[in-house]
Amino acid sequence: MNHDKFLQMSDGQAVTVTADSAVLDLQKPGDFMRPLYWILRVTETFETSDSAVLSATLQTADDSGSYAAIPGMALGATTVADLTEGALLLRQPIPACDVKRYLKTAYTVSVGSFTAGKIDSYISENQGGVY
């Protein structure tokens, strides 16, 4: 799959415990010229010895330190059964009015931890997530 590396927050990021992605700096806030989509895709199957659950939110900030979740931009609690390689977890249009200069993905792992698993998180102007 091809996608724009400049719009990528996680590139096969290992998520075994709660973590944040890299920060995407949009340079300046503003309205999008066309719809953009937040894509979450599993690149390596997750494994757990307990009942670990993964959640994620797309967060934004005016500066690089005070992030808040963008309303409605979240992956609900997802169990290991759905975290298999190649799984498209989320493809959601981003509300332009709620986006500030910085974006990141915040991953939350609860009810234990994962022993393996990697994920991509990125922004795409293509609803299919491929440029």
Mean pLDDT split into 10-residue runs, the chain, 131 residues: 63 85 71 77 95 96 88 96 97 86 93 95 77 42
pLDDT of residue 1: 42
CA distances from 120 to 5, 7, 30, 54, 107 (A): 11, 11, 25, 14, 11
d(CA 36, CA 8): 13
pTM comes to 0.82
Nearest to 38 by CA among 1, 73, 77: 73
Instruction: Tell me what pLDDT residue 25 has.
Output: 78
| pLDDT at residue 98 in the model | 78
